[in-house]
Amino acid sequence: MKEFVLKNLYSFLGDQKAQLRIITFHDILSEDYQKFYDLIFYLKTKWNIISPNEFKKIINREKSKIDEKNVLISFDDAYKSQKIVTEKYLDPLNIKALFFIVSDFVKLNSKDEAHEFIRKNFFKFKNKNLKLNSQTKNMNIEDIKSLIQNGHTIGGHTKTHSQLSKIDDEKNLYQEIVASKDYLENNLENYKIEDFAYTFGDFESINKKSLKLILKNFNYLYTGLRGNNYKINSKIIRRDAINLKENFKVISAYINGYTDFMYKNKLEELEKW
């Protein structure tokens, strides 16, 4: 039903103006490479794909004149496939992306370790028997260094992909948010990280204690709540998660804001904290 409604909404209304969106991807399997490329080609043709630095200039009001439809590409967790599609499709087009890294994930040395880590940490409801694709692997520190050398931006995404709202112990919270950042910066030759994305990204994964600690240690805070960042007056940045298994018109409906109303009240509540 949702797919039917969104497809028809997009077919009828088309692209909307005055958009400043961030789209985010997770693991991208080879069977979806063409869909990824098709989406990037569409955005390159119809939208203005901006870099993380350009996005920050816009939300900081440092850029007075902007194109009407802007989109930033981001990736969560540090899957190996993200580096592959970046080198294959983004780098040749000089598109710069924002990568949010789970610091313990990039320490792992084998596919088996990576799969065990994913089963244990990447889902709210853990399933130790979850079957993962044989292509699914993690990036390592050298991969991250390569992304930086190619002009991409690195952000924090916790130490173990914990749901921060469920952590009561302040030391554990510090480890997930601040110590994770310190580890990455120290191992990336003192690269300075100023971006942080909540794991899971939904309203229930965000609380006042973690939000306060994040804003104390990072300049930019990203959620998984859908929305338009054009002329926002808060530090709560919206993002649109993209599932390449969904219909192209459904994805287009998301990034044109047709489901933003579903997140409006939750975002307004967060902005009061």
The DSSP-derived string for 3-34 is HHHHHHHHHHH-PPSSEEEEEEE----GGGHH
pLDDT of residue 1: 57
Question: Under DSSP, is residue 74 helix (H, G, I), strand (E, B) or coil?
Answer: strand
Residue 55 Cα distances to 121, 131, 229, 272, angstroms: 30, 37, 9, 23
* Other residues' Cβ atoms within 10 Å of the Cβ of residue 57: 15
Q: Which residues of 233-260 are buried (b: 16+ CB within 10 A; e: fewer)?
A: eebbbbbbbbebebeeebbbbbbbbbbb
Rounded distance, CA 130 to CA 208, Å? 32
Rounded distance, CA 209 to CA 225, Å? 19
For the chain, give every domain's residue range.
17-256
Contact (Cβ atoms closer than 8 angstroms) between residue 195 and residue 98: yes
What fold, for 17-256? Answer: TIM Barrel (3.20.20)
Closest by Cα among 171, 172, 191 to 182 = 191
Distance of CA 173 to the CA centre of its chain: 20
Closest by Cα among 68, 84, 69 to 25 = 84
* Other residues' Cβ atoms within 10 Å of the Cβ of residue 107: 15
pLDDT of residue 10: 53
pLDDT of residue 74: 98
User: What residues of the chain score a pLDDT lower than 70?
Assistant: 1-17, 64-65, 67
Judge residue 147's burial from the number of C-beta atoms within 10 Å of its C-beta, 0-12 exposed, 13-18 middle, 19 or more buried. buried
* Other residues' Cβ atoms within 10 Å of the Cβ of residue 204: 12
* pTM of this structure: 0.94
